[in-house]
């Protein structure tokens, strides 16, 4: 399991083990060298003082008498230390009880040496006077030095281990305390109800965790928005489709129970119109849901509004002719950065809205070009128009003008507004053709791409 705690504990353990090994090696090396230096210094000091304390005349006259005995109630110390005093003719003049009768240093060379004598290993220091009359050899058992060194090493390692254990306990405590906010967040999330997407509090969190939780809160906000859009879409679809489906069912009932062919034909025509309106509404609802699911950015490409207008107007030519509406185009090349499918949906909704209100001999004009502020796309009609006070509200979702006799679902212009926002375009409104009707202009941001000055005009009118 990929756990931060386990990973940090492993790092702590390896770091502490490494520190223990390195520290232990340093302690052993230091104590070993220091122990030899300490004992060597003692041997050197004792040997020097002993040499300076001996009367040279007495030494050369012959060996001293037998050694003195201690009082019976006094215990003799262990024979770990020994000394020898040799004359210039290599006669043993004086020795301690533990010292062998043979010289510790057979070559009588001054200085330190580790030698075997009497079946034991000794650390020996040899010193002679200036004239070479007396040679003093003092020695200490190497085993005693080693035992003392091992004791000090073990004590130092025990102290170092205790310190490292204390450090490890403190580090683990600090780790648990530092990661406690994550446990608090985990418990808070587990206690939440379903679909509770409230952002998590970040004020009490450590500075290092705040960016992570802030990013997570950003995802929660996006998810909450997506869930809200889905719920709103389901509610809107259920509300908006209920009435058209009821109407369709009524037309079917009329057609089934018609008493004449004319009545049946009229009911079927009404049914056809209702199906067309319902299909258009379903298409707009799906477009709206798709836009709600999209992020604030879309995949764009350089495209010419003139080509887009020509293609979409060609699609709506028959529909306009059937409703008795004249459809004109005035196109100039205008390059924009946009999404072809979304801009086509925008233009289709503007055309559908304009044709429905300019039917029965009306006129709709689609134009595009490049102005001082950048590329633009216009759709204008000569219908009843929109009161100036209502021109902002009509781009809201499911808003219908009062007294529009049920034409439209209130979705098309809201889709136009949403697509325009995705393209960072402005929506401008005004009077339509011949001083009446309604005009919608989509003003795009200026781009580096140029536009050809030629103007093409295309008019589609009823036959």
**Alpha-carbon torsion 190, 194, 197, 198, what sign?**
negative
Q: What does each C-alpha distance from 248 to 242, 255, 427, 448 come to in angstroms?
A: 10, 11, 35, 51
Residue 378 in this model has a pLDDT that exceeds 90 = yes
Which pLDDT score is estimated for 68? Answer: 54
User: 176 φ, ψ to 5°?
Assistant: -60, -40
Average pLDDT value for residue range 308-328: 89
The per-residue pLDDT for range 47-59, each reduced to its tens digit, is 776 666 666 565 5
- High-pLDDT (> 70) share of the chain, %: 75
CA distance 308 to 329: 12
Question: Out of 309-323, 331-345, 409-423, which region has the weakest mean confidence (pLDDT)?
Answer: 409-423
CA atoms within 13 A of residue 150's CA, in its CB half-sphere: 6
CA distance 139 to 300: 94
Per the CB < 8 A criterion, the answer to whether 432 and 382 are in contact is yes
The per-residue pLDDT for range 240-294, each reduced to its tens digit, is 666 667 777 777 877 787 778 888 888 787 777 777 777 777 776 677 666 666 6
Residue 198 in this model has a pLDDT that exceeds 70 = yes
Q: Which of 166-170, 337-341, 366-370, 388-392 has the highest mean pLDDT?
A: 366-370
Q: What does each C-alpha distance from 232 to 235, 239, 312, 393 come to in angstroms?
A: 5, 10, 30, 19
CA distance 314 to 306: 12
Domain with CATH 3.30.450 in the chain: 4-63+79-153
Residue 65 in this model has a pLDDT that exceeds 60 = no
User: CA Rg, the chain, in Å?
Assistant: 52
- Four-CA torsion 238, 347, 345, 430, nearest 10 degrees: -50
Q: What pTM was computed for the model?
A: 0.49
Which pLDDT score is estimated for 458? Answer: 41
Domain with CATH 3.30.565.10 in the chain: 301-460
| Coil, strand or helix at 133 | coil
DSSP classification of residue 130: T
Q: What does each C-alpha distance from 257 to 134, 254, 270 come to in angstroms?
A: 147, 5, 15
Tell how many helices (H) and how many strands (E) occur in the chain: 8, 13
| Coil, strand or helix at 381 | strand
Here the tokens at position 59 are: 């030494």
Domain with CATH 1.10.287 in the chain: 211-293
pLDDT band at 61, cuts 50/70/90?
A: low
| Coil, strand or helix at 411 | coil
Residues linked to residue 81 through DSSP beta bridges, in sequence order: 140
Average pLDDT value for residue range 193-202: 78
DSSP classification of residue 132: S
Which pLDDT score is estimated for 30? Answer: 67
- High-pLDDT (> 90) share of the chain, %: 11
Q: Does domain 301-460 have CATH number 3.40.630.30?
A: no
The per-residue pLDDT for range 85-132, each reduced to its tens digit, is 888 888 888 877 778 888 888 888 898 888 888 788 888 889 888 888
Average pLDDT value for residue range 319-333: 88
pLDDT band at 451, cuts 50/70/90?
A: very low
Total count of residues recorded for the chain:
463
Q: Where are the alpha helices (DSSP H) in 301-362?
A: 305-322, 340-357
Tokens 């209920």, located at residue: 242
CA distance 284 to 287: 5
Q: Which helix (H) or strand (E) holds 457?
A: strand 456-460
- The CATH label, of 1.10.1740, 1.10.357, 1.10.1660, 1.10.287, for the domain at 211-293 is 1.10.287
Q: Which CATH number is 4-63+79-153 given? A: 3.30.450
Average pLDDT value for residue range 447-457: 46
């Amino acid at each position: 399991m990929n756990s931060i705690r386990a990973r940090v504990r492993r790092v702590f353990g390896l770091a502490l083990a490494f520190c223990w090994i390195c520290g232990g090696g340093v302690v052993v090396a230091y104590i070993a060298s220091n122990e030899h230096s300490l004992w060597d210094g003692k041997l050197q000091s004792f040997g020097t003082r002993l040499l300076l304390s001996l009367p040279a005349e007495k030494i050369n006259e012959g060996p001293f008498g037998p050694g003195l005995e201690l009082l019976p109630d006094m215990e003799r110390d262990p024979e770990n230390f020994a000394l020898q005093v040799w004359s210039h003719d290599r006669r043993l003049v004086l020795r301690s009880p533990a010292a062998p009768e043979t010289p510790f240093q057979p070559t009588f060379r001054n200085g330190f040496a580790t030698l075997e004598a009497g079946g034991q290993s000794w650390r020996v220091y040899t010193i002679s006077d200036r004239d070479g009359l007396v040679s003093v050899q003092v020695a200490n058992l190497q085993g005693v030095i080693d035992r003392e060194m091992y004791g000090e090493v073990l004590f130092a390692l025990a102290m170092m281990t205790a310190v490292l254990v204390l450090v490890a306990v403190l580090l683990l405590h600090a780790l648990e305390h530092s990661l406690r906010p994550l446990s608090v967040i985990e418990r808070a999330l587990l206690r939440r109800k379903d679909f509770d997407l409230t952002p998590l509090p970040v004020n009490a969190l450590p500075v290092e965790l705040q960016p992570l939780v802030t990013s997570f809160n950003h995802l929660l906000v996006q998810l909450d928005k997506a869930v809200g859009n889905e719920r709103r879409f389901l509610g809107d679809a259920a509300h908006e489709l209920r009435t058209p489906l009821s109407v369709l069912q009524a037309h079917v009932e009329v057609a089934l129970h018609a008493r004449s062919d004319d009545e049946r034909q009229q009911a079927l025509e009404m049914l056809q119109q209702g199906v067309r309106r319902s299909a258009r509404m379903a298409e707009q609802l799906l477009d709206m849901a798709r836009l709600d699911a999209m992020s604030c950015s879309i995949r764009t490409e350089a495209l010419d509004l003139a080509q887009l207008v020509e293609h979409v107007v060609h699609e709506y030519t028959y529909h306009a002719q059937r409703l008795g509406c004249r459809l004109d185009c005035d196109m100039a090349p205008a390059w924009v950065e946009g999404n072809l499918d979304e801009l086509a949906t925008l233009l289709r909704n503007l055309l559908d809205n304009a044709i429905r209100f300019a039917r029965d001999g009306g006129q709709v004009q689609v134009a595009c070009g490049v102005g001082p502020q950048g590329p633009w796309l216009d759709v204008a009609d000569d219908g009843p128009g929109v009161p100036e006070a209502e021109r902002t509200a009509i781009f809201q979702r499911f808003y219908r003008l009062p007294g529009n006799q049920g034409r439209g679902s209130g979705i098309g212009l809201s889709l136009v507004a949403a697509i325009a926002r995705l393209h960072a375009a402005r929506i401008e409104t005004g009077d339509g053709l011949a001083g009446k009707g309604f005009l919608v202009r989509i003003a795009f941001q200026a781009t580096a791409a140029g536009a050809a000055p030629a103007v093409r005009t295309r008019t589609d009118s009823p036959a």
